[in-house]
Amino acid sequence: MQYKTIQVQGLNIFYREAGAADAPTMLLLHGFPSASHMFRDLMPRLADRYHLIAPDFPGFGQSSAPDHEQFEYSFDHISEIIETFMINLNDTFFYMYVFDYGAPIGFRIALRHPDWIRGIISQNGNIYEEGLGEKWAQRKDFWQNPTPTKRDVYRSAFAPATIKGQYQTGTQANQVSPDGYTLDIAYTHSEGYAQRQLDLIFDYQNNIKLYPQFQAYLRRYQPQLLAVWGKNDPSFIYPGALAFQRDDNNVQVNLLDSGHFALETHAAEVAVLIKKFF
């Protein structure tokens, strides 16, 4: 494993890299509230077959985190930066592993550059209304009637207890290492963290508006798609995994007995499924 940083549009974008440079590339796109460290157990298990690239998004992990008044924290903008990141690496033909926030970012790239995509792994990376858990109905009120008071309520989304709960809910007792959620919690103390994350929570509504376009991409291009889903995830529920089969004839769905961060408990199983499918 190597740990690198590259300049992209004036930002330092940190990324993890593993595997031979001439192997097929896999771009791994993390979710909230994590960063590329969520792939720490998966990448070594795939490095014998793939060239793995896992960036930290702007405002996450070790990448630059400019003030939200000088930088637009939106999924459109982040997807453009990750697109430029891959262009700068001269690596624009890849498998795409999407999780949580990584799904709307990755599928935006796929819409703009369908020829870049060799195949897709979706791990609790949702693009269907059926996959939205109960909390999203509550957020619609904030999106439709935003006020400073309602915005402040969503600071709870990155409270330590919430983050720890995201890792442990839906998993068997004593199976989740504290490493991931402890690091995620540490990152919440970085300057300006709350405001940039609240901007993204508000902007998430634009991902849902794009779901029909993401689904149309699948219907048109029929990419190989492996859905590996923590079936006990309350945020992105498993009907979202099953829904891929409606639009894409080249889908395999595997429901894992885990929660939102399924790699914390099932990294070895996910690696085997990827190698068998692609």
pLDDT tens, 65-119?
Answer: 999 999 999 999 999 999 999 999 999 999 999 999 999 999 999 999 999 999 9
Q: Which of 37, 51, 68, 260 is catalytic?
A: 260
Domain carrying residue 32: 2-277
Q: Is 30 a catalytic residue?
A: no
State the distance between the two ends of the chain, measured CA to CA, in whole angstroms: 22
Tokens 């989304």 belong to residue: 157
pLDDT, tens digit, 9 for 90 and up, residues 57-75? 999 999 999 999 999 999 9
Amino acid at site 220: R
Strands (E), 61-146: 94-98, 117-122
pLDDT at residue 220, as a whole number = 98
pLDDT at residue 139, as a whole number = 87
Cα separation, 155 vs 197, in Å, equals 9
> 33: domain CATH number?
3.40.50.1820
> How many structural domains is the chain composed of?
1
- The distance of Cα 146 from the centroid of its chain, to the nearest Å, equals 25
3-state secondary structure of 5: strand
pLDDT at residue 267, as a whole number = 97
Handedness of CA 274, 24, 95, 34 (dihedral sign): positive
pLDDT at residue 146, as a whole number = 87
* Inter-helix orientation angle 179-187/160-168, to 10°: 150
Overall pTM surpassing 0.75 (yes/no): yes
pLDDT at residue 150, as a whole number = 85
- Which segments of the chain have a pLDDT < 50? none
